[in-house]
Structure 1
Amino acid sequence: MHPSPQTRSLYDRDFYAWTQAQTEALRSGKLDQLDIVNLSEEIEFLGKQQRQELRNRLGVLLGHLLKWHFQPRFRSKSWIYTIREQRREICRHLKENPSLKPYLREAIALGYENGLDMVGRETPLDPDQLPQSCPFSEFQIFEEPIS
């Protein structure tokens, strides 16, 4: 049995309206009007999204670096620009979220797993035949010239 619309909270009925109400309560100092439980969950989720963003971008970058290194005959302008874009966006993301830097090594390891999956999907290479942990140094990942 589902709760009626009248008994469901604003958070459940209209998330956007809930965000606006929470913003107004914060700005006006009406802390007693805050939905602390849902607000804290949403803030925690925002933090997790930043970590996920880093892992996802690293997965794309590392997948392209794997393709670049293990399929030199198929190198393309598209790969160059994807590598450049991901490097730039990761650096921006870390600059905007410097507290993620201690997480970088773990994010590289997790992103590498996704990069292997990308290689498996997009190339004839067998990911099981590639290094199972990231073979690239941070210099190779973020700064090594691609040409």
Structure 2
Amino acid sequence: MRTISKEELKELYHKDFPLWVEINYELLKEKAYELVDWENLLEEIWDMGQKHLDSGISHLAVILEHLYKWDNFRNLAGGEGAGHGWIRSIENARSRLKALFKKYPSLRHKLPQEIESAWIDAVAELEIWLRDNNYNPEEFHLPEECPYTYEEAMTRDLRKEIGNFANEQALFKEPSAEVQK
């Protein structure tokens, strides 16, 4: 391994990250702890842990966004029959969260505390969706605080709601001509 000063190593963090990683790895292997760029290494370790939480927040934001669309914007997307893609998206995001929780169990306890962060991301996506569909987001007064609990976001079954809606509609339909005979 080539010789490098601590100052050069710190500069390398910003100039050539892969080389910075390689050198710090070698220093740690050789137990040359006094030469390690601890400040940046600690930041990287923290960031590694955060990226998994950030991924969870991102999946939760998708769930919240699509729940809100389902509850409030189906009429803008084509009426009662619209939104089935949102259901699939919610189920997919939940599935990915379950996989994250299996791999990183501590996230299961951290993610509920991040629902407001996820809601901020969801609102940003809702505003983009509204603009993309030629609506002014300010006219819709999107809530500042998340209107859903974490438990609701993770367990609400929209497919069941569709089934209940279809059953209710069937009760109020006029009998067909064949049934009347």
Fold shared per TM-score above 0.5? yes
Kindly state the Cα deviation for residue 108 of structure 1 after the two structures are TM-superposed. 0.9
Q: Spell out, residue by residue over 1:35-81, the C-alpha distance to the aligned partner (whole angstroms, 9 max, x if none).
A: 22221121122223233222222222211111011123433343222
Q: Distance in 1 between matches of 2:115 and 2:102?
A: 17
How far apart are the structure 2 equivalents of 1:8 and 1:25? 14
| TM-score for both structures, normalised by structure 2 | 0.63
Q: Which of 136, 140, 150 is the matching residue for 1:138?
A: 150
Tell me if the contact between 2:56 and 2:100 (Cα under 8 Å) persists in the aligned partners. yes
Residue 63 in structure 1 maps to residue 65 in structure 2:
yes
CA RMSD, 1 decimal: 2.6
Is 1:62–1:115's contact at 8 Å kept on the other side of the alignment?
yes
Q: What SS class does the counterpart of residue 104 from structure 1 fall into? A: helix
Unaligned runs of 5+ in 2: 1-6, 160-181
Answer yes or no: is the 8 Å Cα contact 1:54–1:107 preserved in 2: no
Segments of structure 1 that go 5 or more residues without pairing to the other structure are 1-6
Contact 1:119 1:125 survives alignment (8 Å): no
| In 2, Cα distance between equivalents of 1:54 and 1:83 | 13
Distance in 2 (CA, whole Å) between partners of 1:90 and 1:125 is: 32
Q: Offset of 1:146 from its aligned partner?
A: 2.7
2:98 corresponds to which residue?
91
Moved more, 65-74 or 98-107: 98-107
Aligned residues: 141
TM-score normalised by L of structure 1: 0.75
- Paired position in structure 2 for 1:26: 28
Q: Report SS of the residue matched to 2:146.
A: coil
Larger RCO: 1 or 2 (CA < 8 Å, sep 6+): 1
The separation in 2 between residues aligned to 1:139 and 1:36, in whole angstroms, is: 40
- Alignment of 1:120 onto 2:114: no
In the TM superposition, what are the counterparts of 1:28-67 in structure 2 within 5 Å?
28-67=30-69
| 1:132 maps to amino acid | E
User: Per the alignment, in what secondary structure is the counterpart of residue 147 of structure 2?
Assistant: coil
Shift of 1:27: 4.1
Equivalent-residue separation in structure 1 for 2:136 and 2:91 (angstroms): 23
Amino acid aligned to 2:155 = E
Amino acid at match of 1:111: A
- Deviation per CA, 1:68-117, whole angstroms, max 9, x where unpaired? 11123433343222212211112222332222333323311211122122
Greater Rg by CA: 2
